[in-house]
Amino acid sequence: AQSVTQLDSHVSVSEGTPVLLRCNYSSSYSPSLFWYVQHPNKGLQLLLKYTSAATLVKGINGFEAEFKKSETSFHLTKPSAHMSDAAEYFCVLNNAGNMLTFGGGTRLMVKP
Amino acid sequence: DADVTQTPRNRITKTGKRIMLECSQTKGHDRMYWYRQDPGLGLRLIYYSFDVKDINKGEISDGYSVSRQAQAKFSLSLESAIPNQTALYFCATSAGRSGQETQYFGPGTRLLVL
């Protein structure tokens, strides 16, 4: 069985400081992993995805994530937070057949 | 115009009522999905359809039904709504079957069952 655990339900950072959103996964197969962002009253937008190519994946808006098989992790980072980054972020696993398993979400708050 | 649209965006209904949520897409994708989002639980899959003649139950299909009227349209029905179906509902689409395709989400329908 597959699962995704987002280790923090809420993360608060100051504008201009680094962002780290943590994600661990469990999968019987080689997974594809995604990060989606959800702004208030909006749908989900893809930030980046890992599909067994390069382990360091760059996404939109300066975000990146590193796939670490030995640690079963796929943490999302950004060097410098912006106010517009405040949103909820979902780590998502795709095992096979395009069936997605979502983490519980991490709400990112950015303080001025 | 948005590639994946959902109607209505907000709906309030009463226990026992039948309601339908609609999803349309202009991306030309074969695969469509319905999810519900509850706080702290992420999104959970209700039903999915790989083409017009292929409908499958997801993780939490009890109390729901779907209809794939055309490649571009996928509707979700609550036959007799109950309060614990209060949630945010998302439709999504994807192409292909490699497991690496991105799913594209609609803006969501916020449903309140009184």
Residue B102 confidence class, pLDDT cut points 50, 70, 90: confident
User: What is the pLDDT at residue A83?
Assistant: 96
pLDDT digits (tens, 9 = 90+) for B17-72: 999 999 999 999 999 999 999 988 889 999 999 889 999 999 899 999 999 999 99
Residue A85, SS3? Answer: helix
The CA-atom distances, in angstroms, between B88 and each of A95, B12, B18, B36, B110 are 24, 12, 17, 6, 4
Tell me how far apart the alpha carbons of residues B49 and B44 are, in angstroms, rounded to a whole number. 15
Say which amino acid occupies B48: Y
pLDDT of residue A99: 76
Residue A100's Cβ-side half-sphere holds a number of Cα atoms within 13 Å equal to 33
Q: Quick one: tokens of B23?
A: 């999803």
Report CB contact under 8 Å: B100, A94. yes
Of B44, B90, B94, the CB nearest to A98: B94
Residue A100 has what pLDDT? 86
Rounded-to-integer distance, Cα B18 and Cα B25, Å? 24
Q: Spell B20-41 as b/e; 16+ CB within 10 A means b.
A: ebbbbbeeebbbbbbbbbeeee
* pLDDT reported for residue A40: 84
Alpha carbon distances (Å) from B95 to A34, A98, B31, B114: 16, 9, 6, 37
Q: What pLDDT was estimated at residue A53? A: 76
**Residue A21 pLDDT level (bands cut at 50, 70, 90):** very high
pLDDT tens across B67-78, in order? 999 999 999 999
Cβ separation of B99 and A95 shorter than 8 Å?
yes
Which among A37, A30, A85, A92 is positioned nearest to A55, based on CA atoms? A30
Tokens linked to A74: 């796929």
Burial tier of A8 (Cβ tally within 10 Å: 0-12, 13-18, 19+): middle
Residues 6+ apart with CB under 8 A from B31: A98, B48, B49, B50, B51, B93, B94, B95, B96, B97
> Which residues of chain A are within 8 Å of residue B45 when distances are taken between CB atoms?
99-100
More confident residue, B35 or A30: B35
**Residue A42 confidence (pLDDT):** 81
The pLDDT score that the predictor gives to residue B98 is 65
Report the candidate in B39, B113, B61 with the shortest Cα–Cα distance to residue B82. Answer: B113
The tokens describing B31, both together, are 């695969």
Is residue A97 over pLDDT 70? no
Any chain A CB within 8 A of the CB of B54?
no
Percent of chain A with pLDDT over 90: 78
Nearest to A102 among B42, B99, B108 (CB): B42
Average pLDDT over residues A63-86: 96
Mean pLDDT of A26-34: 86
Q: State yes or no: pLDDT of B101 exceeds 90.
A: no
Confidence of residue A72 (pLDDT cuts 50, 70, 90): very high
